[in-house]
Structure 1
C-alpha cells in the first residue's frame, strides 16, 4: 500500500528529470546544433577568463576580460577583446586589426585578411561565429562526450594541413543541444561554454565564457581604434600573424 501511494510521486519525479535521462546526442547532432546556433548569431558580449600553458615554461599565464563580437565587416567578424589582466586590447573592424599594449605605449596593426589566413585565424573564427565546423574540421567526442555538468565536449581536428594549431576542443552547452533536438531549432546563438586550442608546439590556450549576452545590438563604433597621442604604431609586425 505504501509503495502504491508513493508510485505517483516517483513517476512525477522521473518525468521532471526526463531531459537528463534522455539519450545522448551524436557527434553530428552536436555539430549541427552548434552550426544552427551560429546562423542566428548577430552579435555577442561576454566575460571571459583565459589560461595559457606554454610547453617551454612550467608556469601558466592567466588573463581575463570582456569580449564583443559583431557579424559582418568584410574580411571577417568585428571583434574586440578588452583584457583587464593583463591590460591590453585586440580590436578588429573586419578589415583591420589593432593590438594595443598600453603599458608599452605601442599598437600593432595589420590587415584582418592576414590574421585569418594563418592557422590561428581559423581557430579564432569559431569564437567570432564565422566558421563552419563540418566543413573545416573532423569532429569527435572527447572521452565519453560529456563533462561533469552535462555539456558536450568536441575535439575538432583541421581537415586542411599546415594549420598553426593541432586541434581545438569546444565545450558546447548540453541544454542548447537538447533543446535543438527537442524543438528542431537552435535556441542559443552562442552555445560555446569554453574552448581549448592546442598548437603544434605543445602549447594550449583555454578560454571560458560567462555572462553571455547575444543579439543585443552591439554598436559598430566599438570596433574601431584611434591610437592615443604618443603611442607608437607598428604596421604589419612580422608581415602579419602566421
Structure 2
C-alpha cells in the first residue's frame, strides 16, 4: 500500500517460489524441495505446537520458512518466511475451515485505478540466451 503499486507475475506457476511451496497445494514432497528440521521459535509453546523449519535445497527467493503446526493433527497455524535480507513475514491462520467449496469468483483481483503496475519478467530457462 505505501508504494501504491501492484506486482503482476504472469509466470508464477513456473517460478522458483511456486516449486518451493507446491506442497501447500498437495503437490510435491517436502523432503525433495527442502532440508527439514524441528526447531524452537520465540513465543511458540513447544507443548502445543511443532515448528518445522524448511530450508530450500535449490535457489529460492527466501532463506527459510518455518511452519508452526498444531499438536496433534498438524494443522498449520502460522507461516514465517525469512528472506535473504533478513526480513521476516509472518502469516497467522485462525478460524480455519477446510474443504468449504469456495467459488473461483472469490479469487478475482481487479487492479485499482491510479496504481503503478510492475510486471515481473519471465524467468530464464536453463541454457536460454547462451551462445558459444
| Fold similarity call, TM over 0.5 | yes
Conservation of the 8 A alpha-carbon contact between 1:109 and 1:235: yes
Which portions of structure 1, spanning 4 or more consecutive aligned residues, are displaced by more than 6 angstroms? none
Superposition RMSD in Å = 3.3
Q: CA deviation at 1:227?
A: 3.6
Q: CA deviation at 1:194?
A: 0.8
1:92 is matched with: none
Q: CA deviation at 1:107?
A: 3.7
Q: CA deviation at 1:225?
A: 2.5
Please say which structure displays the higher CA radius of gyration.
Answer: 1
Query: Which of these residues, 183, 195, 216, is aligned with residue 79 of structure 2?
Result: 195
Measured against aligned partners, the alpha-carbon deviations of 1:208-235 in whole angstroms (never above 9, x if no partner) come to 110101111110011222345x445625
Query: Which of these residues, 66, 72, 95, is aligned with residue 169 of structure 1?
Result: 66
Normalised by the size of structure 2, how large is the TM-score? 0.69
2:9 is matched with: 110
1:158 is matched with: 56
**Matching of residue 140 in structure 1 with residue 37 in structure 2:** yes
SS at match of 1:176: coil
The within-5 A match list for 1:111-126 is 111=10, 113-114=11-12, 117-119=15-17, 121-122=18-19, 125-126=22-23
More strand by share: 1
Gaps of 5+ in 2: 124-132
SS at match of 1:210: coil
Normalised by the size of structure 1, how large is the TM-score? 0.41
Residues 208, 227 of structure 1: CA spacing in aligned structure 2 closer, same or farther, 3 A cutoff?
closer
Gaps of 5+ in 1: 1-87, 89-100, 178-190
SS at match of 2:60: coil
The within-5 A match list for 1:55-134 is 104=4, 106-111=5-10, 113-114=11-12, 117-119=15-17, 121-122=18-19, 125-127=22-24, 130-134=27-31
Aligned equivalents of 1:164, 1:115: Cα separation in 2: 15
Residues 200, 227 of structure 1: CA spacing in aligned structure 2 closer, same or farther, 3 A cutoff?
closer
Residues 240, 222 of structure 1: CA spacing in aligned structure 2 closer, same or farther, 3 A cutoff?
farther
Aligned equivalents of 1:206, 1:107: Cα separation in 2: 20
Count, aligned residues: 121
